[in-house]
Amino acid sequence: MKPLLDLRHLQLIQAIIETGRITDAAEKLGVTPSALSHRLREAERRLDVPLFTRMHKRLRKTPAADYMAVVAERILTDLSRAEEDVRRMNAGIQNVVRLSVESYSNYRWLPLFIKFMKSRTEGIDLQIMSGARSDPLAGVQNRHIDIAVMSGAVAHAGIASQHLFDDPLLFIMPPNHRLAGRDYIEGRDVEGEPFITYTKVPEPDREFARLFRPTDSYPQWAATVELPEAIVELVASDLGTSVLSNWALQSAIDEGRIVGARVTENGIDVPWNAVLRSEDMNEDDPIFIVATLLAEWCSLPNAGFHVS
């Protein structure tokens, strides 16, 4: 049975949802507004359902358009990936595995892992997708990326994970801070302290639940900055303190720009995992191969993400 819509209709739906206007969507797609309006009417006629309603000179998506947008995202992403794979075949690369790391953009470990990967397998290229780091799990689910390096436990239908390493959280501060030199920091130590965080959403087994809440001692929220690397620079400039993962801080600590201390006397260790789709958990699948090699590499002495 021939599909009612083609790729042009799917691109149209995406563009109108993104821009909200026929003229802006037409410009984005490189067609005239009249041609886009005709294409929209054709799509609605074929589906026999309205995709958009007009409200104050803007187009508002209907549930049908919302559903089709999800389908379009998956189809167009798969098509784009297939095109990239075909182009790379000329360079002897049969498979491209797309990877993103949750929150952090520290990739000093990447060259060493690529060398390790190439020593163990052939025909696989690793593509870093930095745009998915704010919500890497969604990136895996909607097929924008293949592997997400994420902290904490991940339990979702259709999702599998491989343990990579456990990493302690560090309380970070400038070298001249009053708490510098402490082996560990307790909740009462930071009460009223200017504190920079990349999220104010409490997570289990993190600083909110295990540092602040047990003693009912909270810092003064100085800022919410969603880029950990920017937080490091603010802390180094004595504009506040923070709590971040140890593995992403080693360069700044080695350079002496910040100092770190354990979070609580016993420390807070956070597991990091390679998260992938369950359907890719096959020993011959290049996605599974890369995830397995990443776990193996992280277990080696003087290897892993703790590369400074």
pLDDT for position 72:
80
Specify which of 101-105, 211-215, 266-270 reaches the highest per-range mean pLDDT: 266-270
**200 falls in which pLDDT band (50, 70, 90)?**
low
Average pLDDT over residues 114-130: 90
**pLDDT classification of 246: cutoffs 50, 70, 90:** very high
Interval 170-186 mean pLDDT: 95
In the predicted model, is pLDDT for residue 306 greater than 60?
Answer: yes
Q: Which domains does the chain have, with CATH numbers?
A: 7-72 (1.10.10.10), 89-164+271-298 (3.40.190.10), 166-270 (3.40.190.10)
* Percent above pLDDT 90 for the chain: 43
- What pLDDT sits at residue 289? 96
Mean pLDDT of the chain: 87
Instruction: Output phi, psi for 305, to 5 deg.
Output: -75, -15
Cα→Cα distances 211→136, 218, 291, Å: 26, 9, 32
Angle between helices 63-89 and 7-19 (to 10 degrees): 120
What three-state secondary structure class fits 133? coil
Q: Give the pLDDT band (50/70/90) at residue 231.
A: very high
Question: CB-based burial of residue 36 (10 Å sphere; 0-12 exposed, 13-18 middle, 19+ buried)?
Answer: buried
Strand partners, 173: 259
What percent of the chain stands above pLDDT 70?
92
Q: What is the pLDDT of residues 209-219, one digit of tens each?
A: 778 888 888 88
Question: Which residues, 6 or more positions from 130, have their beta carbon under 8 angstroms from its beta carbon?
Answer: 100, 105
- The reported pLDDT for the residue numbered 225 is 85
pLDDT of 288 reads: 97
Q: Per-residue pLDDT for 308 more than 60? A: no
Q: Is the pLDDT of residue 1 over 60?
A: no
Angle at 296 between CA 294 and CA 297, to 5 degrees: 65
Q: Please tell me the predicted confidence (pLDDT) of residue 75.
A: 79
The count of other CB atoms within 10 Å of the CB of residue 224 is: 12
Residue 221 has pLDDT above 60, yes or no: yes
- What is the structure's pLDDT at 55? 81
State residue 240's pLDDT score.
94
| Cα–Cα nearest to 139, from 77, 82, 200 | 77
Say what the pLDDT of residue 115 is.
94
pTM above 0.85, yes or no: no
Residue 247, number of CB atoms within 10 A of its CB: 22
**173: confidence class by pLDDT, cuts 50, 70, 90:** very high
What pLDDT score was predicted for residue 85? Answer: 66
